[in-house]
Amino acid sequence: MPTSQLMTMLVFLIILVHIALVSSLNLRPGYYSETCPEAEFIVRDVMKRALMREPRSVASVMRFQFHDCFVNGCDGSMLLDDTPTMLGEKLSLSNINSLRSYEVVDEIKEALEKACPGVVSCADIIIMASRDAVALTGGPDWEVRLGRLDSLTASQEDADNIMPSPRANATTLIDLFHRFNLSVKDLVALSGSHSIGEGRCFSIMFRLYNQSGTGKPDPAINPIFREELYKRCPLDVDQNTTVELDSTPRLFDNQYFKDLVAGRGFLNSDETLFTFPLTKKFVKLYSKGQDEFFRDFVEGMLKMGDLQSGQPGEIRRNCRVVNSVADHLVVGPQNRMESNHKSI
């Protein structure tokens, strides 16, 4: 074999060794305390500005943790744009015309790259920004575990096969969460993320006009609320028109659960939590106790944030595209390894 080919193979093997080693490192609080001590302050500052510009945007960013972590772990794969050789997750059934505010992550990444180039992963940005979205809108604040790597690829097919439909019932949701070692309590508490933000008319048309193929509305919808929805989402509506997910869409609180008890859940996957016995008890608990909801929500977010695929990764310089081979070798894993050697 020619020397040039041997050298190419050697470089490739070195890259794989570096990536494999760093992908197994444990997540921990304060991960960037030495390599990028201002990281969490930078993320929160950008999120504050996003909230002031458009309150809905922070709710949109918070959804990223769910859509990222459930599809092959929390690895920033959902941020990758499509390429000629890869169909990413942005156009998957659960994300297309639904997920938005990717530009907020771009803004965060740009600020972090100026402060500490090649250090903070896009996957960790999602985790920090999701926490900040909650804290900045009146919800709990908590210490996040960091140290994730960014994926080298994404899969529209995986996203389509994993993420639930807004039509999903409680049994389907329980089964999905169980696959990731998340309990019924986690399911209900994390569904409280719909305490802020808006949903599209597209996601409720079947509930309003043809529930289960009956040609009738879902009987679980409160009649007064149903009339409101008829006005907001008539049959001829632009189905990308949005409606608040609960009665206090800019405040993270337990109003979402109070609305479910009153039959005012927007999505089928929301209201089903009150009509199904295993989940109903938690809905009632959280509707009466905001502190319990906040506690269990934080616990669920931390558990979900620990989901990892174990696949190779990097520190992307641009959250929308993977780095070059040279970056894999010199920038991403090397910095990540040095950071951890200092902490040992």
> Does 325 have pLDDT greater than 60?
no
Q: What is the pLDDT of residue 26?
A: 84
d(CA 125, CA 142): 15
Mean pLDDT of the chain: 88
Evaluate whether residue 183 is within a structural domain: yes
Same domain, 105 and 184: no
Same domain, 153 and 180: no
Evaluate whether residue 208 is within a structural domain: yes
Q: What share of the chain is helix, strand, coil (3-state, %, to 5)?
A: 55, 5, 40
Same domain, 149 and 177: no
Same domain, 118 and 191: no
> Does 342 have pLDDT greater than 80?
no
Evaluate whether residue 105 is within a structural domain: yes
Q: What is the pLDDT of residue 336?
A: 40
CB 260 within 8 A of CB 224: no
Q: What is the pLDDT of residue 339?
A: 33
Same domain, 225 and 286: yes
Average confidence (pLDDT) over 159-174: 92
* pLDDT confidence bin for 257, thresholds 50/70/90: very high
Evaluate whether residue 335 is within a structural domain: no
Same domain, 72 and 196: no
Query: Which of the residue ranges 34-48, 174-188, 268-282, 319-333 would you say has the lowest mean pLDDT?
Result: 319-333
Q: What is the pLDDT of residue 115?
A: 98
> Does 131 have pLDDT greater than 70?
yes
Q: What is the pLDDT of residue 9?
A: 44
Residues placed in the known binding site:
68, 71, 73, 75, 77, 89, 164, 194, 246, 248, 253
Q: What is the pLDDT of residue 309?
A: 87
Expressed as residue numbers, the domain containing 187 is 170-304
Evaluate whether residue 14 is within a structural domain: no
d(CA 149, CA 316): 8
Same domain, 53 and 69: yes
> Does 145 have pLDDT greater than 80?
yes
Same domain, 261 and 316: no
Count of structural domains, the chain: 2
Dihedral sign computed on CA atoms, order 180, 21, 148, 96:
negative
What digits encode the pLDDT tens for the residues 1-31?
555 444 444 433 343 333 333 433 589 999 9
Evaluate whether residue 134 is within a structural domain: yes
Residues placed in the known binding site for heme b:
194
Evaluate whether residue 328 is within a structural domain: no
d(CA 258, CA 243): 17
Please list the active-site residues: 67
Query: Which of the residue ranges 168-177, 247-256, 295-304, 330-339 would you say has the lowest mean pLDDT?
Result: 330-339
Average confidence (pLDDT) over 248-253: 96
* pLDDT confidence bin for 274, thresholds 50/70/90: very high
Same domain, 184 and 149: no
Residues placed in the known binding site for Ca(2+):
68, 71, 73, 75, 77, 89, 246, 248, 253
d(CA 144, CA 185): 20
What digits encode the pLDDT tens for the residues 79-94?
999 999 999 888 888 8
Burial of 63 (0-12, 13-18, 19+ CB in 10 A): buried
Evaluate whether residue 87 is within a structural domain: yes
Same domain, 298 and 174: yes
User: What's the CATH code of the domain at 65?
Assistant: 1.10.520.10
* Partners of 150 in beta bridges: 314
What percent of the chain shows pLDDT beyond 90? 78
Query: Which of the residue ranges 1-15, 247-261, 312-326 would you say has the lowest mean pLDDT?
Result: 1-15
Same domain, 71 and 194: no
Q: What is the pLDDT of residue 1?
A: 52
Same domain, 184 and 142: no
User: How many residues make up the chain in this entry?
Assistant: 344
User: What's the CATH code of the domain at 252?
Assistant: 1.10.420.10
> Does 114 have pLDDT greater than 60?
yes
CB 230 within 8 A of CB 217: no
d(CA 78, CA 98): 13
Average confidence (pLDDT) over 47-75: 94
Average confidence (pLDDT) over 279-295: 98
For every residue of 258-295, DSSP letters joined together read HHHHTT--SSHHHHHHHHSHHHHHHHHHHHH-HHHHHH
Average confidence (pLDDT) over 242-258: 96
Average confidence (pLDDT) over 144-153: 96
Q: What is the pLDDT of residue 327?
A: 52
